């Protein structure tokens, strides 16, 4: 029989708090990141699934005169006009020709939607968040600003929030007035 001694109550409360903390840290340790892995300019990239609306084959890309050079063009996706961003140009990576493996990853948030061009989709991956390293010393310049982290396999995980909230992705059309 357990006595109602204040010391016993304190001990039991301390144990309960300690056990609860272990469960929380275990949940944190087991938290996984789901992302689509793709190639651009021969490098491996990934972006979290929560930012992806759909992935679509690159077909009928229409050039937009006067758009920034990183805007590769627009596509018609089931009646919606979607801008296609070429991250190779945006990140100052070597340009490559489009192939039949090129895909458009449509990113979406409450305020913005556009596609990013991928040379090849490799698949959906999952990794514990604790296994994502903050950075690589070789990633410099503009790429580091959009970096969420790097996996042990060398996949650069892009920060979807930063991409989808970047004002550089907005194109303003001025009218003569």
Distance in angstroms (rounded) separating the CA atoms of residues 62 and 93? 22
Q: Contact, 147 vs 163, CB < 8 A? A: no
Any domain includes 93 = yes
Any domain includes 19 = no
- Number of domains within the chain: 1
pLDDT digits (tens, 9 = 90+) for 22-74: 555 555 557 899 999 999 988 999 999 999 999 999 988 999 898 888 999 99
Residue 76 in tokens: 């018609």
CATH code of residue 76 = 2.40.50.180
Any domain includes 86 = yes
Any domain includes 170 = no
Predicted pLDDT of residue 137? 62
Residue 2 has pLDDT above 70, yes or no: no
Predicted pLDDT of residue 1? 47
Any domain includes 103 = yes
Predicted pLDDT of residue 138? 61
Residue 98 in tokens: 């489009």
Any domain includes 171 = no
Residue 24 in tokens: 């929380």
Any domain includes 176 = no
Q: Which domain holds residue 137?
A: 31-164
Any domain includes 92 = yes
**Using the 8-state DSSP alphabet, how is residue 168 labeled?**
G
Distance in angstroms (rounded) separating the CA atoms of residues 163 and 151? 19
Residue 177 has pLDDT above 70, yes or no: no
């Amino acid at each position: 029989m357990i006595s109602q001694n204040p010391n016993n109550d304190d001990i039991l409360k301390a144990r309960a708090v300690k056990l609860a903390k272990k469960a929380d840290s275990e949940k944190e340790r087991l938290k996984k990141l789901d992302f689509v892995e793709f190639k651009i300019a021969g490098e491996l990239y990934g972006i979290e699934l929560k930012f992806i609306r759909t992935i679509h084959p690159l077909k009928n890309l229409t050039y937009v005169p006067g758009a920034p050079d990183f805007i590769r063009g627009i596509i018609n996706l089931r009646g919606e006009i979607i801008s296609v961003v070429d991250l190779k140009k945006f990140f100052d990576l070597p340009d490559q020709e489009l192939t039949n493996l090129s895909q458009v990853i449509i990113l979406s948030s409450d305020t913005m939607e556009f596609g990013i061009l991928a040379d090849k989709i490799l698949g959906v991956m999952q990794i514990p968040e604790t296994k994502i390293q903050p950075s690589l010393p070789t990633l410099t310049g503009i790429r580091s600003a959009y970096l969420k982290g790097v996996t042990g396999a060398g996949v650069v995980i892009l920060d979807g929030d930063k991409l989808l909230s970047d004002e550089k992705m907005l194109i303003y059309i001025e009218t003569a007035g």
